[in-house]
Chain A
Amino acid sequence: MELPRLQTLHEAYREQGLKVVAVEAFHETERATAFIEAKGLSFTLLENGADDADVVRSLFKISGYPTSLLVDREGRVMYAHLGFDLGDEVALEEEIKNLL
């Protein structure tokens, strides 16, 4: 899901208990921070580690971007989504409502 769409979900559901976290995968620090500022993103934004600390590829085996995982309150991955097709956020929002 594109980050500005995550911001919308963050604003709509944080009070009901949704936590949005995005990890930037490639250490594009300058471009990432510029983008975050330009889009006014206020959810939790983290930066991937390098080499042994690379959680995006080594732990999550992510190879396509953007990828989103939806995790329930018990810590189970209940939904996985790759890509940024418009309309996908409708399905994702439904899943979020199911889990909240």
Chain B
Amino acid sequence: MSRPIWQCLMLGLVAVACGCGQQPPENPAEAAYATFRDAYLDAGSRAEQVALVESFVAEHAGHRNAAYYATDIITYYARDLGQPARAYDVVEPMLSRMTDPGPRLYLAAELAPVAAEIGRPLDLGPFIEAVEAEGPLSLDNRETVMSAACKVGDWPLAAEHAEAVLARATPEAWRADHPDREFSDEEVAKRAQQWRVTALPYLGWAHYNQGRTDEALELFEQADAERVDDYVGVSPQPLDRFWASALLREGDAAAALERVSRDAVFGDRDQALPVFRQAWAAVNGSEDGLNEQLWQARQRLARPIDDFTLPDYDGRQHSLSDLRRGKVLLLAFWFPT
């Protein structure tokens, strides 16, 4: 996964969920999609899923969810099998057959780091322009671009889009950009803040890599002051990982280790673990004891679960504390697709 995994999955899942549950299949593409989705969810391995995705996209590249599923192909070939060139060869031709510019930008951005890795850089410019031709870029579009730009080290591109987000991240600008949304002042202020906290880490990291260290560290401080964390204290943005990487390069490995610990145990592990590993090796002199260190971080950072009482489908009330008493609990939140 090449962007913040929580964001990425959320986008994908929301797109998938909105796409499939609400109306019965009314045309051949929707019928094919429904069949594909059921088979995908029942598949027993990623290889099987990827085969299904490839054949679905071959026939229905224009489907609005095709791009989200196609990211599986990248993950499977480039990460699971370690064959980035194969991922590129399969996915790159799909891009030109996709018609929905937003999802297509998302897929292109997922492919960009793989393309860079094999020395065939992918220019996101045309994909961005295609979205812009339909209207202003959304925050999700911007984040897609910022994330990919940071992955491939295109700091001017990351900074350009972060600055564009910040320029619109005031309540007034946000309201002007979304005239159709009937939100209260409080909701608008919250969304403007979300724009700010999304852009600040990327701008900080871009600036840091452009040699603007003091500005970068100040931006990380600002982002930290405004961050909105999830239940386990992880920021949806890569703030802590970027900040830790900067601290590490500034020679403060202990601060870097502390900064990236929560992400490494509860957040986007794929992205945060390499930073944690480097910071630990720098503090410790070698990677010895890495797993023990991760386990200790988890013990230290784990929060207590809140209690609640909710009904089952027979109307009986259950409190979580009664249900989990003395047991290990696996608590899942879901909705039917």
Measured CB to CB, the residues of A under 8 A from B are 1-3, 6, 9, 13, 17-26, 28-29, 31-36, 44-49, 53, 55-56, 59-73, 75-80, 82-87, 92, 96, 99-100
Contacts and interface: CB of A to CB of B under 8 A. Distances in A.
Given A65-B333, A69-B231, A86-B45, A33 B313 contact: yes
A83 B327 CA distance: 24
B332 A66 contact: yes
B313 A70 contact: no
Interface of B: 5-6, 9-10, 13-14, 17, 21, 41, 43-46, 49, 72, 75, 80, 230-232, 234, 266, 298, 302-306, 308, 310-313, 318, 320-321, 323-324, 326-336
Contacts of A73: 326-328
B328 A24 contact: no
Contact of B231 (A28, A61, A75): A61
A92 B330 CA distance: 10
Contact of B312 (A45, A62, A76, A84): A45
Given A44-B323, A86-B43, A76 B303 contact: yes
15 contacts: A18-B329, A20-B330, A25-B333, A32-B313, A36-B313, A45-B312, A59-B308, A65-B17, A66-B332, A67-B333, A75-B305, A80-B232, A86-B46, A99-B328, A100-B328
A77 B328 contact: no
Given A25-B335, A28-B335, A65-B13, A75 B304 contact: yes
A56 B334 CA distance: 10
Nearest to B295: A98
A60 B332 contact: no
8 closest pairs, A vs B, by CB? A64-B10, A76-B302, A83-B9, A71-B329, A31-B336, A19-B327, A46-B310, A22-B332
A65 B16 CA distance: 11
Contacts of A92: 330
Contact of A47 (B44, B80, B312): B312
Nearest to A1: B332
B328 A83 contact: no
B69 to A, nearest CB: 12
Contacts of B330: 6, 9, 18-21, 68-71, 92, 96
A83 B336 contact: no
